[in-house]
Amino acid sequence: MRVLSGVKPTGTLHIGNYFGAIRQFVELQQKYDGFYFVADYHSLNSNPESSKLTSFTKDIIIDYMALGLDPDKSTIFLQSAVPEVLELAFLLSNVTNMGLLMRAHSFKDQQAKGNLPNVGLFYYPLLMAADILLYDSNYVPVGKDQKQHLEITRDIAIKFNELYDDDFFILPEPIILEEVALIPGTDGQKMSKSYGNTIEMFAPEKALKKQIMGIVTDSTPLEEPKDPETCNVVKLFKFFASTSEVDDMKAKYRAGNYGYGHAKLELFEAVKRYFDSARKKREDLAADPAKVAEILRRGSEKARAVAIPKIQRIKKKMGLVGNIY
Q: Is 57 in the site for ligand TRP (CB under 6 A)?
A: no
183 lies in the site for ligand ADP, by CB under 6 A: yes
Closest CA to 86 of 41, 54, 56: 41
How many whole angstroms separate alpha carbon 66 and alpha carbon 63? 5
Confirm or reject binding of residue 7 to ligand TRP (CB under 6 A).
yes
CB of 208 to ligand ADP, least distance (A): 17
Task: Out of 44, 81, 100, 182, point to the residue binding ligand ADP (CB under 6 A).
Answer: 182
Give 75's strand partners.
35
Cβ atoms of residues 73 and 29 within 8 Å: yes
Per rule CB under 6 A, is residue 153 in the interface with ligand ADP? no
Least CB distance to ligand TRP at residue 259 (A): 36
Alpha carbon distance 114, 131 (integer Å): 29
Among 8, 58, 154, 193, binds ligand TRP (CB under 6 A): 8
User: Which residues make Cβ contacts (< 8 Å) with residue 221, sequence separation at least 6?
Assistant: none
Tell me the residue type at 52: K
Alpha-helical (H) ranges within 168-223 are 205-213
End-to-end CA distance of the chain: 37
Q: Which one of 2-10, 82-90, 233-241, 264-272 is the stretch in contact with ligand TRP (CB under 6 A)? A: 2-10
Q: Smallest distance, Å, CB 45 to ligand TRP?
A: 11
State yes or no: residue 189 binds ligand ADP (CB under 6 A). no
How far, in Å, CA of 106 to CA of 147, rounded? 12
2 near ligand TRP, rule: CB under 6 A: no
Residues in contact with ligand TRP by the rule CB under 6 A? 4-8, 39, 42, 128, 131-132, 140, 142, 146, 149
What residues make contact with ligand ADP under the rule CB under 6 A? 7-8, 10, 16-17, 20-21, 142-143, 145-146, 180-183, 190-194
